[in-house]
Each structure stands twice: as structure tokens, then as C-alpha cells.
Chain A
Amino acid sequence: MSEYFEVRWHGRGGQGTVTGAKSLAEAVQGTGKYVSAFPDYGPERRGAPVRAFDRFADKRIRIHIPVLEPDVVMIVDPTLIGSKSLVEGIGENTVFVVNTEKDAAETKRALGLTGQTLYTVPANNISYRLFKREIPNSAMMGAFARACPQIISIEALIKEAEHAFAALLAKDLVAKNLDAIRCGYDEVRNA
């Protein structure tokens, strides 16, 4: 379904993976695209692997199935690396965004990637710095804007995320999450 731009998030319950996917969709919608975002619901347990999906398009999105051939894979939890589900359905042009402090080349090897582009971002580090705990999703959104400026620019992401967060969070947390987005964008490293 090539007219859709498809993103697949991999995280663990409690890291805000689903919220990350949904907030990103709301932000991209603000730029005038059609969007959909939804999780892969299983039993809801903190720490269990979780997947969430985004679709972006210039026309109404009619399909609801999980993303099978992602344009972007967002790895929110690096301890998932090694699981086959992370690389399922990927192509040569699939872009990876990984929350890790490890070197990008090493991360690519660990994932078994060949020619694909991979960006790393120390999202946990950013999250501890700002929130004193592990909620890496906002930093991951910032890294997405760095990896996919054709979908959303960092300026548009900050502007639109402010609306999306304002509906969910108290004022000081909105500001901190916008900071996390900016740090995520700034601290991306590319292999």
C-alpha cells in the first residue's frame, strides 16, 4: 500500500510508546495530512513488548491492519533488539530510529541491517535528565522529525505537539515534553 507512509513503533508497556505514536499522528494531522494511529493490543502489562502504528497520507486512509512493511521503525526500547519482529517486513529503504547510547554502526550490526539508514538518539538519557524517569517517547518524536523531515519539520512538530500535549498534560509537563522533543531532534546521531 505504497501511497501510505507507515511507521511501526516497538517498545515496552509503560514507556509511552502508544502515546508517542498517537501524539505524532496528531502533530502530523496538524500539518494537513490524513493520519491514523493505533496500538497492537494484547494483555496490558508493564514491561511487555508493545507495538504501535502510524499511517500518513494525502488521502483518506481506509486500511486498519497492522503495518507490515514499515517505512520507519521506531525502537523505543533497545533491549528488544534481537527480536525478529523488529525487522519483519523491512525493505532497503526502511529507516530505523533507535533509542540507544550505543554507536550506530554497532546497533545496525545487532539488528542485522545491511543498507538501511539508522539514526540513534539517547532518549532514555534525555528523559532522565528532564523527567528523572524513563519516558522516552517525546525524545523519539523529535528524532523522527530529524529522520523524516519530509513528513514533519521540527518547527511544525513543536507547534503541533504543543496542542496535542495541552489536552493531556499540565502546563509544566507540556513545556518539558517540548524540551524533550527538541533534545531528541538535536541529539540524533546517524550511521
Chain B
Amino acid sequence: MAEAMRQINPDVVAAFPITPSTQVIEDFATFVADGKVKTELITVESEHSAMSACIGASAAGGRVMTATSANGLALMWEMLYIAASMRQPILMTVVNRALSAPINIHCDHGDSMGARDAGWIQIYAENNQEAYDNMVMAPVIAEHRDVRLPVMVCLDGFIISHSIETMELEEDQAVRDFIGPYRGLHSLLDTDRPVTWGALDLHDYYIEHKRGQQAAIESAKSVIESVSDRFYRTFGRKYELFESYRIEDAERVMVAINSVAGEIKEVVDALRDAGEKVGLLKIRLFRPFPYAQIAAALRGAKVVTVLDRSTSMGAYGPLFGEIRTALYDAEPRPLVYNRTFGLGGRELFPDDIQELFAESRRYLQNGKVEKIFDFLNVRGD
């Protein structure tokens, strides 16, 4: 991610270190110290200040980036909403990590899922290649005139962030040509055309501004499709709003986010070899959520198992809610159920995924779901 940041060469980075995202900023700080980028690096005293500085720098017209995880993201909370509502195209790497308490440094998606209503575009990645590619696309999406919204590029803490993997990096110039220069609109520093940012907005206009924001994030879907298409034509790696892995004729489909998709693909291949009609739908874009496209892709599926790596205490998992909503109008409507896994870094092994597919086969045969919601690989039953 630091490499992508170096290639993007933003005007300003403001950040505060937190495991497991620390290395991103540490490496980037080296690039700054070595003169490899022209970035103004602001080391701040907290994540709240980091996001505040990003918002100020973005309103001044700069291209701005940061990175964080877990409690750091939580400390940004107030400013996340302000960044999105002020339509600042800030780019942030979120290295997914479990929220305290109990304190835990390992992966789950509780941090970014908790921020899903903040108005940021959220793009998820299975591995380092996808995280890098998503970050190269992020400024083009964020800065598009119809969008102008901040983007979170999310990847799994430790599992991905602290692993070495074979991947392709593109040439600096090719990346810079792909992204293009940035000129912020309505810069605070443009004294010839003075503007006010973040003004008071009561019941006379607040809801109109929120509707405008909703329209902007909705339009991000088609922008992301066209940017991904241009990325494919430029660099040869294909991305859609979500990845359909062997789901064309699948009766049983698993839906998941991030690195676990790799393990699921291995199991899907093994079960396909044994003649089972199974597949995977991997989420890439979670905000805005592509309801209609996902419903169309899952047409024909009879059982859908939704895996959430986070909890919404007192409710079903956040991904499950979206998938079920997407499928409500499907005719015939598939069986849909929810499993929570991997909180605080608990592994999900291929054998566990095999068992899940065995369970979905039973549900298919019986025509009903026995348990709509459950935790996987957990003690205390």
C-alpha cells in the first residue's frame, strides 16, 4: 500500500500509527525522508487529528491520503462523516482489525463495517494485488466530478498486510498517467473566489444535502465500473463490483469478503471436481452496495450462505442484511442464512468451509434452513 501511495505521490498525508496499519505509514515516511515523493507528511497526535488534517488539506485543494486500523478508525468517527459530507475525495487504507475490548490486534471487519454508514465508498480486497490495484483506482473514483467522495480501501490485517506475496507492481509513470493530476474544486486557498466549507445547515436544507450525497455515492457504482474497465484495458487485471467465482450454474453459493475468499475458491474447485454445483460471490464494493447486480448474479442460486467477519450486536451480520435485502424480490427466492466467523483473527480452514458446504447441501435437500444465524469455530456450545 505504501508503494501505491508513493506512486500516487499525494500532496498531503496526515497519519497516526496503529497496528497493523503502522507499516504503511512507516514505509511511506521513508519515501518522504528519501525525497521519493513531494508529500507534506503531517505527524499528528491522534487519529481524530489525522482525519481533521486530511479534511483541511483536502478542502484546500490537495490530494490527500492516510491509513489506519480498528481503534484508530473508531477515533476518527466524527471526522469520517464530516469528510464524506463535505465531499472531500480523501483516500484511506484501512487494514482491518478487531475493535477492543478485549484488546486484539488481529483481523476482523468490525472496524470498517462499523463505518459503513459514514458516507465513504468502501472497496475490499482479497490479497495484496487487489489492495494495490484498488488503491491505484481509488483516486480516479474519489475525484470523479459525479462522485467527489472519500474512499476506504480495506484489506485483512496481518493475513494480508503482513504477508509477502507474489504480485505485479506497475511502472510509476504508467500509474501516474492512469490517475492524472488533481485539481480540487473550490479551494479554501483561492482568495479570488472565497468559499465557506461546513456551514450551518438546519431543517431548511440539511435533508437536501443528504439526498445529494446519496445521489453522489449511488453514481459511484457506474464510475467504479468504468474506472475498473479502463484499469483492465491499461494493466490487464479485471475487476467488477464483485467477483463471481463459478456461480453461473451454481445451486449453492457462499458470499464473503476479503482474504477468506481465497480458501473458499480452493474448496469450490475441489467440490466442483466432485460434481457439486457450488460457487463464491466475493464482495468488492460494499458502499455503495450493488443490490440489483448481486441479485442478478445470484439468479438461479437455491441456497446462499453469507459469511460475516464482524458482528452487529443484537442483529444479524451487516453483509447478511444486504444480501437478504438484495434477494427479497428474487423469484424464486433462495434460502439465505448467516454465519459469523473469524472475529479477532480466528482462522477458518478449508475443512471448515467443506463442512459449511455440506450443511448447505442438507438445507437444499430439505428445502429449509435449520439455523439462520450462528458462530463458526467457537467454544461454548
Listed in ascending order, the chain A residues whose CB lies under 8 Å from chain B are: 1, 22, 25-26, 29, 33-39, 41, 60-66, 68
Contacts and interface: CB of A to CB of B under 8 A. Distances in A.
Interface string B262-302: 11011000000000000000000000000000000000000
B263 A63 contact: yes
A25 B263 contact: no
5 nearest A-B pairs in the assembled complex, by CB-CB distance: A38-B163, A62-B262, A37-B164, A34-B166, A64-B159
B262 A64 contact: yes
B350 interface: yes
B266 A26 contact: no
B148 interface: no
A37 B167 CA distance: 13
A61 B160 CA distance: 12
A29 B164 CA distance: 10
Interface residues of B, number: 20
A25 B156 CA distance: 20
A36 B350 contact: no
Contacts, number: 52
A48 to B, nearest CB: 15
Contact of B266 (A22, A34, A41, A63): A63
Contact of A35 (B156, B166, B263, B349): B166
Given A36-B166, A63-B350, A65-B347, A41 B106 contact: yes
Contacts of B162: 38-39, 41
Given A1-B350, A41-B158, A64 B263 contact: yes
A1 B262 CA distance: 13
B165 interface: yes
Contacts of A26: 164
Nearest to A26: B164
Given A1-B266, A64-B263, A22 B164 contact: yes
Nearest to B269: A62
Given A64-B263, A66-B347, 17 more contacts: A1-B266, A1-B350, A22-B164, A25-B164, A26-B164, A33-B166, A36-B165, A37-B163, A38-B158, A38-B159, A39-B162, A41-B105, A62-B266, A63-B262, A64-B163, A64-B259, A68-B349
A57 to B, nearest CB: 9
Nearest to A22: B164
B324 to A, nearest CB: 28
A95 B105 CA distance: 33
